[in-house]
């Protein structure tokens, strides 16, 4: 009986398991089959009890390792694997820094209207960032995070997805939501925490979320979204939903344990997910040179058995092409993809940070002036004759007006009713919350004159 089971294990290994391993790190042939039917049930559980006397039956395997957890050749020389075996992963790009297409075969040949939508979204995001950053500096909102320099990663990836693909963001992906059509009013209401904020003022600014646009609400603790996104992708696969999940995160968040757990679950459960890492050079003040020792985040993919690519994140077409292909294959083949988009965080980490303490003005200026995703796309549009000085001037005025109107309206709105602080978590309010709510009411009855209560909905 035991011998029969063990020979089943080897037969499975010969059919796919070992062959897959011999192809080398990360190489994975063709579409994958769904896990419930393959490998055969019990294939993993056999290892403890299966005796290893099958070599007579399979003489050709005599000199091959047969360990269930790894398969390759035996060697008789002691050699450690150099960490730089996977290094110098190239950066895929479509446009050069002047906005010229490098290889015409890679030009996504998008229609003029769509490319103009890219440009308008990227510049509108930039304008919104400027106004909200300033409004924090003037004390009108409590906190803000800009997306300067990373607009290409947002718009290129958002455009490559289907509208119903589920998005899990970190916090610096406002452009994804903007590309999907989230209105300026709601961005502003969220940052002001006013009565129109869907989160009812309970979250810090920039923690957006929108059920209708399939954008899961942002969580502050780093990497929270990664295992959650993998779970959602697994559910989508089980439902045969023909839907992908995209999960954004920074290269700093990729050091969290949750990131590693997420990568491994996605690979082993064969989930239709795109891990989209924005490698912007910094995690607050920690530069990438102190964040990791390998070749960035893309180098980790093969270790988990995940198809991986590194792209120029300041090239919106490169991001678009990579995400589109990853999306197509993730759904068709039920497997995860990892995209590492190289970019640069031009702004401070947040309004609580002063980046002049840890990086030079020259460094920032280089990215702002020489390698900016917006100017690269503008060069491209100009050279195609799809955009000109006149259009630029008109759009700048118009977009600023749109942002200012939304900003002024959000500022005028009342804050949510204070009692909403206590609702929505429990169906019936537990005694300890009731006690706190009563205490707040008593406090305001006595000391209400010291609070701007007329700014809140009653």
Ligand X SMILES: Cc1ncc(C[n+]2csc(CCOP(=O)(O)OP(=O)(O)O)c2C)c(N)n1
Show contacts with Mg ion in window 330-359 (CB under 5 A).
Answer: none
Size of the site for ligand X (CB under 6 A): 15
Minimum separation from the CB atom of position 352 to ligand X (A): 10
Q: Nearer to ligand X by C-beta: 250 or 373? A: 250
User: Who contacts 100 (Cβ-Cβ below 8 Å, separation ≥6)?
Assistant: 379, 380, 383
Considering only 29-37, 84-92, 101-109, 275-283, which stretch makes contact with Mg ion by CB under 5 A?
Answer: 275-283
Candidates 180, 237, 349, 380; binder of ligand X (CB under 6 A) is 349
Cis peptide before 219 (omega within 30 of 0): no
Minimum separation from the CB atom of position 392 to ligand X (A): 28
Minimum separation from the CB atom of position 133 to ligand X (A): 15
Return the one option of ligand X, Mg ion, none that residue 51 interacts with (CB less than 5 to 8 A, by type).
none
Between CA 66 and CA 86 the distance in angstroms is 25
273-279 vs 245-250, strand pairing mode:
parallel
Contact in structure between 244 and 327 (CB atoms under 8 Å): yes
Considering only 76-84, 281-289, 321-329, 406-414, which stretch makes contact with ligand X by CB under 6 A?
Answer: 281-289
Query: Measured at CB, which residue is nearest to ligand X?
Result: 250
Tokens of 171: 């916090």
Contact in structure between 314 and 376 (CB atoms under 8 Å): yes
Size of the site for Mg ion (CB under 5 A): 5
User: Who contacts 18 (Cβ-Cβ below 8 Å, separation ≥6)?
Assistant: 64, 71
Interaction between residue 282 and ligand X (CB under 6 A): yes
Give phi and psi for 117, each to the nearest 5: -65, -40
Q: From edge to edge, which strands make up the β-sheet containing 337-342?
A: 215-216, 166-168, 245-250, 273-279, 337-342, 307-312
Considering only 20-28, 242-250, 320-328, 392-400, which stretch makes contact with Mg ion by CB under 5 A?
Answer: 242-250
Q: Nearer to ligand X by C-beta: 170 or 334? A: 170
Minimum separation from the CB atom of position 165 to ligand X (A): 21
Interaction between residue 345 and ligand X (CB under 6 A): yes
H or E element that contains 287: strand 286-287
What's the first-to-final CA gap in the chain, in angstroms? 75
CB burial readout 262-281, b (16+ within 10 A) else e: bbebbbebbbbbbbbbbbbb
Point out the residues that are catalytic.
134, 220, 349-350
Q: What is the DSSP string of 383-433?
A: HHTS--HHHHHHHHHHHHHHHHHHHHHHHHSPBPPGGGGG-SS-SS--HHH
Candidates 280, 323, 334, 399; binder of Mg ion (CB under 5 A) is 280
Minimum separation from the CB atom of position 328 to ligand X (A): 27
Interaction between residue 166 and ligand X (CB under 6 A): no
Show contacts with ligand X in window 211-240 (CB under 6 A).
Answer: 220-222
Closest to 180 (Cα-Cα) out of 211, 220, 142: 211
Considering only 83-91, 113-121, 277-285, 387-395, which stretch makes contact with ligand X by CB under 6 A?
Answer: 277-285
Between CA 177 and CA 164 the distance in angstroms is 12
Q: Nearer to ligand X by C-beta: 310 or 380? A: 310
Minimum separation from the CB atom of position 458 to ligand X (A): 35
Residues of this chain that bind ligand X (CB under 6 A)? 172, 220-222, 250-253, 278, 280, 282-284, 345, 349
Residues of this chain that bind Mg ion (CB under 5 A)? 250-252, 280, 283
């Amino acid at each position: 009986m035991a011998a029969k089971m063990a020979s089943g294990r080897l037969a499975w290994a010969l059919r796919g398991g070992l062959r897959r391993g011999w192809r080398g790190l990360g190489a994975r042939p063709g579409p994958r089959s769904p896990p419930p039917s393959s490998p055969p049930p019990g294939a993993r559980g056999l290892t403890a009890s299966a005796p290893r006397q099958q070599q007579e039956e399979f003489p050709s395997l005599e000199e091959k390792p047969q360990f269930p957890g790894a398969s390759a050749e035996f060697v008789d020389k002691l050699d450690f694997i150099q960490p730089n075996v996977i290094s110098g992963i190239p950066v895929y790009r479509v446009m050069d820094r002047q906005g010229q297409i490098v290889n015409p075969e890679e030009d996504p040949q998008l229609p003029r209207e769509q490319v103009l939508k890219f440009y308008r979204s990227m510049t509108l995001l930039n304008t919104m960032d400027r106004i909200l950053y300033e409004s924090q500096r003037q004390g009108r909102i409590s906190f803000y995070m800009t997306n300067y320099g990373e607009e290409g990663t947002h718009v290129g990836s958002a455009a490559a997805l289907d509208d119903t693909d589920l998005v899990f963001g970190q916090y610096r992906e406002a452009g994804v939501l903007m590309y999907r059509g989230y209105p300026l009013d709601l961005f502003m209401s969220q940052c002001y925490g006013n009565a129109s904020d869907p989160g009812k003022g309970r979250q810090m600014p920039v923690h957006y979320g929108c059920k209708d646009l399939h954008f899961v609400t942002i969580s502050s603790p780093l990497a929270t979204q990664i295992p959650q996104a993998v779970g959602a992708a697994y559910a989508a696969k089980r439902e045969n939903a023909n839907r992908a999940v995209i999960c954004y995160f920074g290269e700093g968040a990729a050091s969290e344990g949750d990131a590693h757990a997420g990568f491994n679950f996605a690979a082993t459960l064969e989930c239709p997910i795109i891990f989209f890492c924005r490698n912007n050079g910094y995690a607050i003040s920690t530069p990438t040179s102190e964040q990791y020792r390998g070749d960035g985040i893309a180098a980790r993919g093969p270790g988990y058995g995940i198809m991986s690519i590194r792209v120029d994140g300041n090239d919106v077409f490169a991001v678009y092409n990579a995400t589109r292909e990853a999306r197509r294959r993730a759904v068709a083949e039920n497997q995860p993809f990892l995209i590492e988009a190289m970019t640069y965080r031009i702004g401070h980490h947040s309004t609580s940070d002063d980046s002049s303490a840890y990086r030079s003005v020259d460094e920032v200026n280089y990215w702002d002036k020489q390698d900016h995703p917006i100017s690269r796309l503008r060069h491209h549009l100009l050279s195609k004759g799809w955009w000109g000085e006149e259009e630029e001037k008109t759009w700048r005025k118009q977009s600023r007006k749109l942002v200012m109107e939304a900003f002024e309206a959000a500022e005028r709105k009342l804050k949510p009713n204070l009692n909403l602080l206590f609702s929505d978590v429990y169906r019936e309010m537990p005694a300890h919350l009731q006690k706190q709510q009563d205490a707040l009411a008593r406090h305001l009855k006595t000391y209400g004159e010291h609070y701007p209560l007329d700014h809140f909905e009653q």
